[in-house]
Chains A and B, each alone.
Chain A
Amino acid sequence: MAAAIKELSNVPNSSQETLWRRVERILPTVTKPGRYVGGELNQVIKAWDSVRTHIALVFPDIYDLGQSNLGLMLLYDILNQREDIAAERAYSPWLDMESALRENDIPLYSLENKRALADFDILGISLPYETLYTNFLNILDLAHLPLRSANRDESHPLIIAGGQSVYNPEPVSPFVDAFVVGEGEEAIVDVVNTHQAWKTAGGSKQELLAALAKIPGVYVPSLYQMDFNADGTIAAVTPESPDLALPIVKRINAKLPPPLTRFLVPNVEVVQERVSVEIMRGCTRGCRFCHAGMVNRPIRERPLDEILTALKTGLDQTGYEEVSLLSLSSSDYSQIIPLINGLRELLQERQVNITLPSLRIESFTEDLMDELQSLTPGGGFTLAPEAGTERMRAIINKPISDEAFMDTVRSVFKHGWKTIKLYFMIGHPQETLEDVAAIAELCKAVLYEGRQIAGGRTRVHAGISTFIPKPHTPFQWVGFDSLESIQQKLDILHQGLHGAKVKMTWNDPEASLLESWLSRGDRRLSEVILKAWQNGARFDAWSDQFNMAHWRAAFTEVGLDPDFYSHRARGLDEILPWDHINAGVKKSFLKTDYQWSLQGKTRPDCRGGCYGCGILSAFNELRLVAPDGGWKCP
């Protein structure tokens, strides 16, 4: 029994044993303590002193969400394959655990070796969405680390951050030593190698930062100065020395790295427990609101046999009962029918469930629907027209005629589905109240068709979100709709759907407003984030935790105007806070596309013919080494 207690901390170091013993005692007092103990199947624990580099991969949301994050698991796997590196994990503690840690003065620790995060060489922070920023600061604080990069030296871990939100890194730039912009699988290895060389040489933090800034795709914000005009817009972004890259071009892999098969299988219930395989990265459709579609170009497909093998191996290694395919638009995968046939075999031999999200209306064929219905009987069918009128769909470049849409709907019902989920966005540029009212009409029309074909048990669900003009998209210059206008539009939808038996769900407009500040902010916004966190903001992505008052107060205290960041339309010639980050798509391309939107002019799928968005010129050399057929740019 005493041995069992000792086993609770498998670390010889006595101070660490103390840390874990102290954690042990508080665990029975918090909700779901299984979040804080690690011990999952397929975790990697290396003897602390046996490696050169210790890196903690941090997901700033709770374990229940972060545990299944594919990006983080992939990096964990890649790094741990190196014998000289130990990659461990940490997540945000829930509020009760945070209090318990603070009351007992216990620093945040890693799940593998139960070491304080401050003991690591590098902390790699995953920032897939902006609403994690306050949690990120909270984690640094719980790790007993100075929040600002300027206040950390060689004795502190290097703080690097990556993920979809850092295509505009500025709002969190004072807190991060270096950003990895773009795909991290290769860049992270470069970062560790650079760190090792620096550590061996025994250099200063400045030398480390300078060396990191030389890695393609790595942005070291402290080496760039940002100056502002009197009106608050950006005057210039200037690198400290002329040999620093400007702009910083995102990092991509020529070929998608091998899919993950060693999934960490949690011992307590988390949000997603399944084998996930990314079938394709990027999208060529060019929806003008879509951040992911623009920044993840070019489109690269994974070979069919690689996907099926990965699914099988993943199932063997986890025992999961569900598989899921990931992509921005699964039905665009060039071998979707053979893929579905492969899945059916898998289903028959392993008895697993299959989820296949993100299908596009345009790419549906009768064949595909037949196949799908047999694969996932009983499930709902999801379509995302995004807007209620043809005019609006042309503006956002998701052109589909009402007639074609209704044909697809009829076909879905004819194939046996009884439930359709429809996704829409309100607040699009140039949107009129008629466009909004048309959303309700469209939903009712779908319900009507469903009842004709599939009978009384038809269900229609409308999910309404608010358009947020995102960096690196053709709509990056547009202002975010006013809260009054959004409310008015929601009211129109409520009225339009009143008594119609269409279930409607919608996002809190204030939460979207926060996202618009955070995604469009410049370096000065970091002070607002800091203040909001000090005011108590945490878990901003959680509707039950999000508190707008913390943010409003923070803007006032810092003396910045929130509307400047959200509602203001940006001038076409203005220097945008993310212009020094190059996501591969040229600003001139985005500008033209924006101007086309004003004329209602659409730009069809570029797999039929290249528009010269900038991807091929930026990554010409990479493409030469890419395997045949991987890239779908013509």
Chain B
Amino acid sequence: MSEQEQITRIRLKYAKGPSLRFTGHLDMQRLWERLLRRSGLPIRYSQGFNPRARLNLASALPLGVISESEMLDFWMDVPLPTETVRKHLAENAPPGLDIQEVTSVSRQEIALQEQMSASEYQITFYDPQPQSELEDKVAALLAADQLPRVRRNKTYDLRPLILDLKVTKADDGEIGLWMRLNAEPGATGRPDEVMEELGFTNTQYLACRTGLILKA
């Protein structure tokens, strides 16, 4: 086997808990680089004066959102059993980062970001919400033909980015919301935008990403 062929691509699934809620996308990149360095695994680094671990996050998580389901690819120079990799990473993870699954994927696969299709979010309210009122709001939103909004000085339509939206009721009776939003490169919906359309500010709820859906 040539050296080139030995390089292994590893895919991780992990959860991002409350203490990392305000660690943004770029900070997560740095956090991962340091975690990979601490792990002592044979990480593949870029060449040059400031070598950096090559890694690839599936999708940026909006600031303030926690997640049960994030994905990341990184590369190693030497293949190792996935359980060994998981152990090294878990032992060196900072508080709030939970490694759930380690798999090996083909080097030929396209970048994770390109594979993204949709994201799912669960919303929990800090204060109890009346179910019927919430249901009315959701119905009205879904009935709209268009939801024009402005993001970074550009107008776009939020409506087609909302693939699904419904009111949820937990076992303990707590009322929340569940949504599936488009997450293709260049057409990504964010939960805070949907919540704003429903009349909620980001001080009223906690959002959790519960699923990442890749293109088949």
Contacts and interface: CB of A to CB of B under 8 A. Distances in A.
29 contacts: A1-B170, A1-B176, A2-B170, A4-B17, A4-B18, A4-B208, A7-B17, A27-B22, A28-B64, A29-B203, A33-B22, A37-B19, A38-B19, A39-B18, A40-B94, A40-B95, A41-B95, A267-B22, A267-B27, A267-B31, A267-B94, A268-B22, A269-B26, A315-B37, A316-B38, A316-B40, A319-B92, A351-B51, A378-B49
Nearest to B52: A321
Nearest to B172: A2
A622 interface: no
B197 interface: no
B14 to A, nearest CB: 14
A319 B35 contact: yes
A4 B45 contact: no
A318 B208 contact: no
Contact of B174 (A2, A4, A317): A2
A501 to B, nearest CB: 27
What size tier do the contact residues of chain A reach?
35 or more
A317 B38 CA distance: 6
Interface in A27-79: 27-29, 32-34, 37-41, 43
Interface of B: 17-24, 26-27, 30-31, 33-38, 40, 45, 49-51, 63-64, 66, 92, 94-96, 122, 124, 126, 170, 172, 174, 176, 202-204, 206, 208
B203 to A, nearest CB: 5
A265 interface: yes
Contact of A319 (B33, B95, B172): B33
Contacts of A29: 202-203
Contacts of B95: 39-41, 43
Contact of A267 (B20, B36, B174): B20
B205 to A, nearest CB: 10
A457 interface: no
B44 to A, nearest CB: 12
A353 interface: yes
B37 A4 contact: no
B30 to A, nearest CB: 7
Interface in A1-41: 1-2, 4-5, 7-8, 21, 24-29, 32-34, 37-41
Contact of B124 (A4, A267, A353): A4
Contacts of B204: 25
A320 interface: yes
Contacts of A37: 19, 21-22
A40 B35 CA distance: 12
By Cβ-Cβ distance, the 6 closest A-B pairs, closest first, are A39-B19, A319-B34, A319-B37, A34-B22, A319-B38, A41-B94
A630 to B, nearest CB: 32
Contacts of B34: 265, 318-321
A316 B40 CA distance: 8
A495 B66 CA distance: 56
B122 A1 contact: yes
Given A26-B203, A319-B38, A4 B66 contact: yes
B202 A28 contact: yes
A39 B124 contact: no
Contact of B24 (A7, A8, A268, A320): A268
Contacts of B96: 39
Contacts of A353: 50
Contact of A1 (B21, B30, B33, B124): B124
A39 B21 CA distance: 10
B134 to A, nearest CB: 16
Contacts of A8: 18
A218 B63 CA distance: 45
Nearest to B21: A37
Contact of B64 (A1, A33, A315): A33
B78 to A, nearest CB: 17
Contacts of A317: 38
B19 A267 contact: yes
Contacts of B35: 319
Given A2-B170, A43-B95, A25 B126 contact: yes
Contact of B206 (A4, A316, A351): A4
A378 B48 CA distance: 13
| Chain B CB within 10 A, most for which of A8, A28, A38, A351 | A28
A34 B206 CA distance: 16
A7 B208 CA distance: 13
Contacts of B208: 1, 4
Contacts of A320: 34, 37
A39 B149 CA distance: 35
A34 B35 CA distance: 18
A479 B186 CA distance: 63
Contacts of A43: 95
A103 to B, nearest CB: 12
A4 B96 CA distance: 11
B45 A351 contact: yes
Nearest to A1: B124
A40 B49 CA distance: 28
Nearest to A6: B18
A120 B18 CA distance: 25
B64 to A, nearest CB: 5
Given A4-B66, A269-B27, A319 B36 contact: yes
Nearest to B40: A316
Given A34-B27, A268-B24, A268-B27, 13 more contacts: A1-B122, A1-B176, A1-B206, A4-B124, A24-B126, A32-B22, A39-B18, A265-B34, A268-B22, A316-B38, A319-B33, A321-B37, A353-B50
B197 to A, nearest CB: 17
Contacts of B92: 319
